[in-house]
Structure 1
Amino acid sequence: MAPGITEMLIVGFAIGLTGALAPGPTLVAAINSTLKSGWRAGPLVTLGHAIAEIFMIVFVLTGLYVFLDEYSLLIVLTGGIALIVFGVLTVMDSKNVSVNLSGSSETAKNPVTAGIVTSASNPYFWIWWFTVGSALLLTAVSGGVIVFLAFIIGHWAADLGWFTLVSTGVHRGRFLLKQREYRILLTACGIFLIGFGIYFLISGMNL
């Protein structure tokens, strides 16, 4: 059964938000670039991150789409298991996670470049796209161009919203979420990943 437009838009946003919330080099890039470039650094870092993802999307579609019909069950099962694993890790990490507002002197000065470099150099980025990302992407493609675009728009909207929120907060001299609220939000995202992973596996059984 092909996914719907609204379904993939919501899934794209929720999954994208989970990835964006996770502390990592791209978040550091947004924070550090904000200290130098102001609140616009968030959207610019997101643009760089999106550019890196475009290459991954093209790679996944050109390298894996031809195997969609033959290996659809394997793709869905792999993606579902990966979602559950990432969800469990997210919940576990959320207990001690913190946001460092001091930035990093190693981040590239240009926010767009920083978004590209920190994304491409992050092992999590590659692992995610070769497991969860590829499975969700190919599922979206099976629903047609509009469904595929809905997934991508939702995914990037989450990145843009979160990194803009971070850069705006840092620019004003404070992080908009308290540590406890941030951890609760990250835990909720982890639980969503686990739940959607289970749903993904159940859906795969019906292929």
Structure 2
Amino acid sequence: MHRQELRGALFMYAKLNPGLRYIQGMNELIAPLYWLFKNDPDPVNAQYAEADAFWCFMDLISEFRDHFCQQLDNAQTGIKATLRKLMNMLQHHDYKLWQHIEVESKVDAQFYAFRWITLLLSQEFALPDTLRIWDTILSDPHGRMDCLLRICTAMILHVRERLMQGDFAVIMKTLQRYPPVDVTVLLNKAAMMAPCNEVLGSPV
């Protein structure tokens, strides 16, 4: 039943957005929204979970949709540009760690952060933690993308010791299968960082 409702919402999105349609991974973004509305304690509200999830998904994806469009991969708003901004953030906050990951170990951010960014970290954490992270991203005064990049930067910094001691394989395993962590620590670390546009000198 729930799969059918999610499928219906995504089908409607594809019909309304023929230039993009459905891209693999969009289901991972709408599922937490649907779960949240479906578990509303008010049954009257819960019965509209599919519609509510659809409209919230439309708003959410509007800012991140270019990451799903392969034709825009090399554009200023594409996924490759966003990954470069993440690496620039890491370089600013911890040059030695950035150098070890990117230069010495030759670990491309696309190997791990592509999923982080396109799926808004929904695959890295349990659902309650994902919802808390999303609540932070959606309410951040500096913007959703800015907040997401700061959280991703905080994630890398949080496992610094393990990464600095590791080679290519260790770094890949650590970042592709992020270890259990109290998300409060990550969110606090991200909140203490200067906004990305101040660090990078341009809007994100």
**Higher percent of residues as helix:** 1
Q: TM-score, normalised by structure 2?
A: 0.28
Which structure has the greater CA radius of gyration? 2
Q: TM-score, normalised by structure 1?
A: 0.27
